Amino acid sequence: MATSSWENRFGTKKLVLSEPEFTILRDLIHERLGSFYQNSKRELLEDKLSSLVSERGFDSFLDYYYLLKYDSAEAESEWLQVMNALRVPETFFWREIDQIQALVKILVPDYFASKPQQPLRIWSAACSSGEEPLSIVMALTETGWLERVPIEIMASDMSELAVNRARQGLYRHYSLRNLPEELRVKYFQPEQDKWRIRPELITQVKWHTANLISRTEITPFAAASVIFCRNVFIYFSEEMIRKTVRRFFELMPTRAYLFVGASESLLKITTDFDLQEIGSAFVYVKGNSVVQKGTTYF
């Protein structure tokens, strides 16, 4: 029978996630957060959670499972730590920029042509450390839209740690690797070995924490006419993608647009949205929108 720890040659114990522990812990995380770890990812999950288990004074992942599952007094705060540990920080500025250009050059002008006084709400649903929503802010600033019309940009992530880093606005050069040089010079200042974004861009975004699996937590944001939920569903099971997209559909306005990652496809998962080409990007559309020359988007 597999054990929860082994003693290395230095006499210290390393926690080992046994197969039975992995299965029940993996399924609990899937239920609560949507992320699904395939069997091949057992060591990855072990690495991400080992420090949390040790900090609790446990010598097995099974004890930690019981805490998360049954200890209502402490589980809520502990889940926040789990969300921080499981976050995926791989993102960068100007990622899949064709989608943001479709928003800025096509959807925004059309929206305010038909609703000049009504604020446009945009939600970055899994913002990580902020590169996506801040790229949107930069693109809107470059085209002058933020000065002329009411646009509300919201950003959320399940990880409080990630959102706090977004609020700080301090980035390594690797996050700027895809950003045009003129934009780096215009919007960033060097700070030791990092780059700090201009603070007025950060204040253009309303930052929040939200678990995409929780209808209660996403309800204030999913009424947005535009949702960016990119490179998130690659970590979800098909079941959780379906549930999450369905909630988006139910909460979004009659005419609305959902952007997902280029490697993510919803075609076999939902018929609620129509996949349409807008500019150089493919977008999932809610409502009877025929995006052809001479027609409107909103």
Residue pLDDT, tens place only, 67-121: 999 877 788 889 989 988 988 777 899 999 999 999 999 999 999 999 988 999 9
Q: Is residue 295 part of a domain?
A: no
Measure the CA–CA gap between 85 and 47, rounded to whole angstroms. 10
Q: Is residue 75 part of a domain?
A: yes
Measure the CA–CA gap between 112 and 85, rounded to whole angstroms. 41
Residues 6+ apart with CB under 8 A from 57: none
For residue 36, give both structure tokens.
Answer: 């699904």
Question: In total, how many domains does the chain have?
Answer: 2
pLDDT at 189: 97
- The residue type at 284: Y
Q: Which of 279, 243, 169, 236 is nearest to 29 (CA)?
A: 236
Domain endpoint, select from 30, 53, 86: 86
Q: Are both 121 and 254 inside the same structural domain?
A: yes
Give the pLDDT of the chain (298 residues) as one tens digit per residue: 344 544 444 344 678 999 999 999 999 999 989 899 999 999 999 999 999 999 999 989 999 999 999 877 788 889 989 988 988 777 899 999 999 999 999 999 999 999 988 999 999 999 999 999 999 999 999 999 999 999 999 999 999 999 999 999 999 999 999 999 999 999 999 999 999 999 999 999 999 999 999 999 999 999 999 999 999 999 999 999 999 999 999 999 999 999 999 999 999 999 999 999 999 999 999 986 555 555 678 8
Q: Is residue 297 part of a domain?
A: no
pLDDT at 88: 76
Q: Is residue 269 part of a domain?
A: yes
Query: Is-contact 265 230, C-beta < 8 A?
Result: no
Domain endpoint, select from 86, 119, 144: 86
Q: Are both 101 and 51 inside the same structural domain?
A: no
Q: Are both 37 and 155 inside the same structural domain?
A: no
Local structure of residue 294 (DSSP, 8 states): T
- Look up the CATH number of the domain holding residue 74: 1.10.155.10
Q: Are both 30 and 71 inside the same structural domain?
A: yes
Q: Is residue 47 part of a domain?
A: yes
Measure the N-to-C terminal CA separation of the chain; round to a whole number of Å: 60
Q: At what angle do helices 160-168 and 72-86 cross, to 10 degrees?
A: 50
Q: Is residue 280 part of a domain?
A: yes
Q: Are both 49 and 159 inside the same structural domain?
A: no
Q: Is residue 291 part of a domain?
A: no
Measure the CA–CA gap between 46 and 86, rounded to whole angstroms. 11
For residue 40, give both structure tokens.
Answer: 């091949």
Q: Are both 233 and 197 inside the same structural domain?
A: yes
Q: Is residue 239 part of a domain?
A: yes
Q: Are both 131 and 259 inside the same structural domain?
A: yes
Q: Are both 72 and 119 inside the same structural domain?
A: no
Range of the domain at 26: 5-86
Q: Are both 105 and 209 inside the same structural domain?
A: yes
